[in-house]
A = this chain, B = another copy of it.
């Protein structure tokens, strides 16, 4: 199992934070080196790095850079607040920056930079381990030869390891049981088309891309045996905020008797958030829908509804998989037992 890996990684530390620019994929492999805090915040907001675990790791390294620049705790806390506000839905981001700040606060001023970097490295390594555990636990939920459907990108590009949902897919594939991965393109930003399809091809996973609106036909056809997605935040009752388009997949999977599995590390759970209605949903610019790759595809003046995420209620989720095991059925009690 330890042999399963991915050829791609979204965040690395080479004497400083480096981010693979996911906005340029699948066209160009380009590493960015944001040295100033404002740059890091902007790159997180502009989706150069995305995926709840990956932005947590990136933000942790950004704070390590900040701690190297100044031993001021007030300054570190201000930077943490700016990073956390860049993407309000993903709770890993807030969790990661709070962990780095707390560790730095325990250290003497001269040791803060080293402690902040060590904490960021630990967050990164723990996430890689969590992905492996999630892959193993989740793969066991889909016995036999299976085709799996996923949405957006919950892969290596979204994490510090082999991915959460795609971690499960990679383990099933390594076991010789994956018939095919189906990937919804995930308009408006097309993380499925640009990232999941690319990542799957890099690692030799058989993949078929589809428009989001064709997933219903695919589920109705009986061609897939499971849906696997990631999460940006999981509330105490098991409600899951994830990329917009996840909730309709859950409704359709339920209608067609296809298991719907959410995969996420412990850091994605927010037990202070009682339910789905309490999760803030980021609304993004209408230009993401009016344009693509600089090309206008709709009238300039048209109003746009562009929520980045939606909320799937627990009763539609077959199981939630974390590195600690599986919550099934998904209830407040099973979520608490899993990660409480």
B-contacting residues of A (Cβ < 8 Å)? 26-27, 182, 184-188, 190, 193-194, 197-198, 201, 206-218, 220, 244-245, 247-248, 251-252, 255, 281, 286, 289-290, 292-299, 301-307, 310
Contacts and interface: CB of A to CB of B under 8 A. Distances in A.
Nearest to A243: B213
Nearest to A246: B213
B245 A299 contact: no
A187 B216 contact: no
A217 B252 CA distance: 14
Number of copies: 2
Most buried by B among A208, A286, A299, A310: A299
A168 to B, nearest CB: 20
Q: Is the interface of A mostly helix, strand, loop or mixed?
A: mixed
Contact of A244 (B185, B211, B290, B307): B211
19 contacts: A185-B187, A185-B297, A187-B211, A193-B297, A193-B298, A194-B297, A197-B302, A207-B303, A209-B290, A209-B302, A210-B305, A213-B310, A214-B307, A216-B247, A217-B244, A217-B310, A248-B248, A248-B251, A293-B293
A153 to B, nearest CB: 12
A209 B303 contact: yes
Nearest to A313: B220
A37 to B, nearest CB: 31
Nearest to A151: B213
Given A209-B290, A251-B251, A252-B248, A214 B295 contact: no
A185 B217 CA distance: 18
Contacts of A306: 210-211, 214
